Structure 1
Amino acid sequence: MRHKQIIKMLIFIAISMIIGAIVFVLLRPYLHKTIPFNNFNKLTQITEEPSQKIIPFPGWNEREKQRALAVVIDNTESARPQSGLELAEVVIEVPVEGGQTRLLAIISGEDQELLGPIRSARSYFVDLASEYEAILVHAGGSMDALETIKKQKIDNLDEIYGGSIVAAAFWRVMERQKPHNLYTSSDSLRRAAINKKYDLTTPPTQRQTLGLDEEIDGGEIVSDIAIFYPNRVSLVRYQYNKEKLVFERYMAEQPHMTAKGEQLKAANIVIQFVSFQYLDGDGRLRLIMHGGGKALIFHEGQAFVGRWQKTPGQFTKYTDEKGKSLSLAEGPTWIQVVPNGTRIEY
């Protein structure tokens, strides 16, 4: 009797071991594997995704360029949203009468199907166009501006006084009222320039830009810049987007949009303080754009206090307070020309 019980027990144990072995084989692929502690760092390095540097405006400096057009663009409320600012290499915003501002867009790259609204020139626009060796595009201008254009033989395309060939490069749209409805295109302007026998091959002078691997530091961290031009509708604000590494532009506390429905963005903001004089009771200004003065330079979320320097016929230089030239980030630059004493917050 005892012998039979022992046999049964051995058979039970043998069957259990066989069943256990079968179960182990079947479940083995699903069992957790042990990770050796001394290989953990090595394993992490293999599986981690390498971080990639964000390039906000890829290929910006490599775009094919020809001689620049310096286009005077309206910036009143009735003129917004404008067309063509989004692909300008440089946009210079300057005060005009009434406490408002006007824009000069330096465009030498891609063809623009629509540019405008086009407005009249001031003498400082003539000087700025010459600085970039550009063809000035405008619709008339102040007396001193027109006199300077004639005296200095400035290459220009004037919708009002440029003759029928030049006037044919402009048109008015029905959706807006005068004087905020005059438009053109870069192709139309360049064809008019060819008829005027202007040189179209000389690209504009370029400021030094940071290399892709260059790091900048030493500036004050900024997230918001406010520029208080006299008229409330001309209040300019930039907010720094840390994810996209760009400054996003606002006008009168609203996103400054393009006609294509995109918010304007910049890689660099330069605030240039200048001396000024009132010319008449209408508030026309003479801005002193030669000599030098204080400048604030913003890029990659940092602010640098510096200086600007310019001699007649030369390119405006921006330096730190010790006179060392400051490089800019690759991408569009907005230069804010403001009279001395203008309120700036950042």
Structure 2
Amino acid sequence: MTSHQFYLDELAQLVQGELIGQSKFKVAALASLEQAQAQDISFVNGEKYLQEAQASKAGVLIVTAALKDQLSHHQNFIVVDHPYLAFAILTHHFEDKVLKRGIEVTAQIADSAIIAENAYIGHYVVIGENCVVGDNTVIQSHVHLDHDVEVGKDCFIDSHVMITGKSKLANRVRIHSNTVIGGEGFGFAPYQGKWNRIVQLGSVQIGNDVRIGSNCSIDRGALDDTIIHDGVIIDNLVQIAHNVQIGENTAIAAKCGIAGSTVIGKNCVFAGAVGVVGHINIADNVTITGMSMVSKSISEAGSYSSGTGQFETNKWKRTVVRLRQLADVPLTKLVKQIDHMQAQIESIESTLKSRK
């Protein structure tokens, strides 16, 4: 493990914050408010954490100006407008990075592949014909790049990733263990009771600064490419089917499934276990709450839900019974009943007014 130690003035400069306290205070690590020790730095992300911050043993706190004035027990601060963002920036400087460069002797690389001199290719990596690996890219052990795959600059491909289907990755892409990029899409033509396989002839295009978690599948297109645009972040255990397009800076949480040929806009948020049917369009700036089922296109920005929140078990059972009973009543009958009830209410109100 690499040891990371910084002076306080160095850290303040990295996040463009105002330093208050000892400029040469030595910081050993980032830590939570609860676990921080005297040489650690932590952050206070809002007033609801003030009590924890007062009790924290952290040697340095990242705070806003308003919060700093309420923390009388501490002496060393970095004052910024957005403490959580400052914390995110500093994590990159405390991260243990793969600094080794070159190609391990157990790697198998086709003669036609082009590998940057300052890339790292780990043990038992297989790289096929006509592949390209860009500057400063790290490819960990047991990764397989099939023929004609291109990986850009400053990428990180974790162990046991498979990239196939002539996929193209831009710069600063991170892909975590056991993910498959460019696998065959789920395309079959039904005929006379049998499923006839459709060969998937498209590819996958992944933009800059995309992060893809572990155990994900992103299928290549049937004809057109599957496209993941710049800045998209994808959690673990996500399935993205063939020909899907995902707009810039969209976030997709774990266990989401997106069916084929769906187009998702920019700056969307999909919470955990959302399901999306195929061949629909979702506008920019749409949020889908957890375990929702998106069954038709969404044309306007906003938050959408279809899942049912938890009940105590007996209440849930009664609710299900009522829902089933409601489903058995024709909508026209319900409307007539409501109209009749409204007429009765109006009649009673009229009678009461006349008596006055």
Q: What is the TM-score when the length of structure 1 is the normalising length?
A: 0.21
Q: What is the TM-score when the length of structure 2 is the normalising length?
A: 0.20
Larger Rg: 1
